[in-house]
Structure 1
């Protein structure tokens, strides 16, 4: 995030349902973000915002912990563009739409915000990118670019607040990371390194796992989940092993361990710190104590 200052965010539920359409905004900013579950598109199309110029994010977040995916676009008519995507793109589960509360977003704003969103999402690498060739940076006058970057900062905050941290880098070990914050998964050729975070467990790039699945998980969701990580490019095959090509966030330590070991595992005891203490002892038992 570009700013760590305190913020007040207002979330409006047009239908009164927390799982329905949600409209998020920082009341002092001119843009708002509208989250629309795919099945609620007809309701969104009745809203005035659906005819505006906007930037949109089609997202899918698999329950199995494999790579989330995003397609980013912009349009002068959200209703028409999203109706087309509903017919032609299968992968997405919900769309997040960035519009101006003051109806001040122009096609020039939208083009730059689309480019900036794609460029930032690729650099962060949290979500699989489905945009293909996104084109070059559009020419944008300096005053308008400044407006766009302020809008983008707001979009970063609102997306993360609604559970889609597209532009928030995963935690990385650095000079301030103590050895006790790193955890290891070791078994034969398996050498995994990871961090326990507020969002889940991050397996770090370069971690090495077992290529083969044990017989007990063949034909199960665990096998499909590991194969999906390979097809998504999160893990790359290297002989009898798989290597994490990039950092990847898992929802639980156990899912992270399954990805590396190719078998069911309790990640709370499989992941250990440099002294051999389990993740459970370091994090959960320490809280109890």
Structure 2
């Protein structure tokens, strides 16, 4: 997102089930995002919002990291088509509509193209779209509206747990973000610790096999990212082709070492300070300023 500022988001559970349909809104916006589990399509079709023009996102994959972006003049009917044809393996749909029902086909065509472009740039999800959408001629006032809708929609998506348009890291610089290194057992990796986990940076590498005692699950995860093109084999090493988020520092270091690891110790600054000690120092400084 372009701007970080305090917001108020409301999440409504129409059935009272937190794993069922969820409706998210920013209190000062007319944009509404509806999360629809595939098992609840029938309930969504009963809602007035299903008859509207809308933008939608289909989430799939074992790790919920596969994404298809589409648009429709009647979004409920389009989701039902996706459900019936069986061509797309998806589990949850996220539907973006207007509370005032004023989105047009031009709006959603532009938003579809913009969303595909932004999702590709952020690289958080494996995008299943075969093309870049159709970006129609868009008058400047309408484009400005769409850009605002996209910003609010991205915020609502992230709030519900789908940060499709959130960069993995801010612009990397020595002044704004601390880079950590994992150099054990032949690894040559750089990472940035964020509030979501450890982002291993593009170009990081490690041996394809380990001599340490290990388990098959580590190789399974390696092969999964090889198949997705996140890493590629380069001789007897694998190399990251893009930045990639692991939910924990230890998850990142275990992937690199192909064995058990304490990431709070194995990730270090260029001065040799462990992630654990660096975070402790940061907390001490913040506490002293209170």
TM-score normalised according to structure 2 size: 0.89
1:245 is displaced (CA, Å) by 0.6
SS state of the match for residue 40, structure 1?
helix
- Counterpart in 2 of 1:238? 234
- Counterpart in 2 of 1:262? 258
- Is 1:73 aligned to residue 70 of structure 2? yes
- With over 3 angstroms needed to count, the CA separation of the structure-2 counterparts of 1:238 and 1:183, relative to structure 1, is same
CA distance in 1, matches of 2:93, 2:8: 23
Counterpart mapping for 1:192-207 below 5 A: 192-207=189-204
SS state of the match for residue 183, structure 2?
strand
CA distance in 1, matches of 2:281, 2:175: 24
- Counterpart in 1 of 2:172? 173
1:91 is displaced (CA, Å) by 3.6
1:213 is displaced (CA, Å) by 5.4
- Counterpart in 2 of 1:16? 16
- Counterpart in 2 of 1:5? 5
1:221 is displaced (CA, Å) by 3.1
Pick the aligned partner of 2:186 from 181, 186, 189.
Answer: 189
- Counterpart in 1 of 2:32? 32
Counterpart mapping for 1:76-225 below 5 A: 76-87=73-84, 88-135=86-133, 137-171=135-169, 172-177=171-176, 181-212=178-209, 217=214, 220-225=216-221
Superposition misfits of 4+ residues, deviation over 3 angstroms? 60-63, 213-218, 284-289
- Counterpart in 2 of 1:56? 56
Verify the 8 A CA contact 1:111 1:138 in the aligned structure 2: yes
Verify the 8 A CA contact 1:213 1:223 in the aligned structure 2: no
CA distance in 2, matches of 1:230, 1:186: 21
CA distance in 1, matches of 2:213, 2:87: 35
CA distance in 2, matches of 1:3, 1:58: 26
SS state of the match for residue 229, structure 2?
coil
Could you list the per-position Cα deviations for residues 96-116 of structure 1 after superposition, in whole angstroms to 9, with x for gaps in the alignment?
A: 110011111111111001001
Tell me how many residue pairs correspond in the alignment.
283
1:6 is displaced (CA, Å) by 2.2
1:48 is displaced (CA, Å) by 1.4
Question: Structure 2 unaligned runs (5+)?
Answer: none
Verify the 8 A CA contact 2:109 2:133 in the aligned structure 1: no
1:175 is displaced (CA, Å) by 4.5
Verify the 8 A CA contact 1:217 1:223 in the aligned structure 2: no
Question: Structure 1 unaligned runs (5+)?
Answer: none
CA distance in 2, matches of 1:27, 1:287: 33
Could you list the per-position Cα deviations for residues 242-289 of structure 1 after superposition, in whole angstroms to 9, with x for gaps in the alignment?
A: 111111111011211122122232222221222323222332687599
Verify the 8 A CA contact 1:30 1:100 in the aligned structure 2: yes
Q: Which moved more, 1:207-216 or 1:103-112?
A: 207-216
Q: Which moved more, 1:119-128 or 1:83-92?
A: 83-92
CA distance in 2, matches of 1:37, 1:216: 41
CA distance in 1, matches of 2:100, 2:187: 54
- With over 3 angstroms needed to count, the CA separation of the structure-2 counterparts of 1:91 and 1:46, relative to structure 1, is same
**CA-atom RMSD in angstroms:** 2.2
Q: More relative contact order in 1 or in 2 (CA 8 Å, sep 6+)? A: 1
CA distance in 1, matches of 2:55, 2:211: 45
